[in-house]
Amino acid sequence: MKSGDAAKQRIGGSHGSTPDTVREALRRAISAGELAPGLQLRQDELAEKFGTSRIPVREALRQLEAEGFVTFLPNRGAVVSDLSIDEVVELLEIRIALECHALRLAIPAMGDIDLDDARAILRSYDEEPDPEKWGAFNWRFHKSLYAPCNRPRLLAMIQANYGHVGRFTRALVSRATGKDRPQREHYQLLEFCRDGEVEKAVRLLREHIVQTQKTLRSAQRHASRDTAG
């Protein structure tokens, strides 16, 4: 079984899946890197996997197209979208704007439960040896910091943007940086949040994401050089 077929098998849903169910499952699979850029998404195969007709699948794919996860190509239909390095860097700039705003709103509303939950995630992150799983811990930590802002639409935009960024940065950045430096910054960020240091926390978050931009470009240059060699 090909890797794309295996991924499609894993995301199969229950009988009578709605467009929202199909969209969420496909979005998760694309964001996690289970469905690679350029992979063709055949509507009849997906309908069979989800136990539904092609109509909900077609609607879900159109919604994912609007979100940038799927592209419709002549003679191929829907494929998983690919992005250039410049487009990913731009998404990271958007990430800075959205997440810094969310954090500024969230810190005054944080309680001990929120902060303790974030620390527990970091401790689990510390103990995880598999780089393939670091991205999920990273997202859980950042999501836990922004949740107290109580802005559902803002949080949904952050999650969608992070899904785009994560699938292109996960392999390159995680292996290039390790997790020591990001984790040190995460713990410092958490302390700023606990102390109510809003501007210090926002400044560190911005620097944290800017570093990802720099690492991504550096890792991409080295990957291109190695391929050429």
pLDDT in tens, the chain (229 residues): 444 555 544 455 544 568 999 999 998 888 878 898 899 999 999 999 999 999 999 999 999 998 889 999 998 899 999 888 889 899 999 999 999 999 999 999 999 999 999 999 999 999 999 887 888 899 999 999 999 999 999 999 999 899 888 887 776 666 666 788 999 999 999 999 999 999 999 999 999 999 988 888 877 776 666 555 5
Instruction: Tokens for 81, please give them.
Output: 């979208």
Residue 1 confidence (pLDDT): 41
Q: Is 60:22 a contact under the CB 8 Å cutoff?
A: yes
How buried is 66 (Cβ within 10 angstroms: 0-12 exposed, 13-18 middle, 19+ buried)? Answer: exposed
Of 106, 125, 89, which Cα lies nearest the Cα of 211? 89
What b-and-e string marks burial along 83-92, b requiring 16 or more CB atoms within 10 Å of the CB? beeeebbebb
Distance CA 135, CA 121 (A): 12
- What is the model's pLDDT at position 132? 79
Q: How far is the C-alpha of 209 from the C-alpha of 83, rounded, in Å?
A: 18
Q: What is the pLDDT of residue 222?
A: 66
Q: What is the pLDDT of residue 11?
A: 57
**Cα-based torsion angle of the residue sequence 204, 207, 213, 215 in order, rounded to the nearest 10 degrees:** -90
What pLDDT score does 199 carry?
Answer: 98
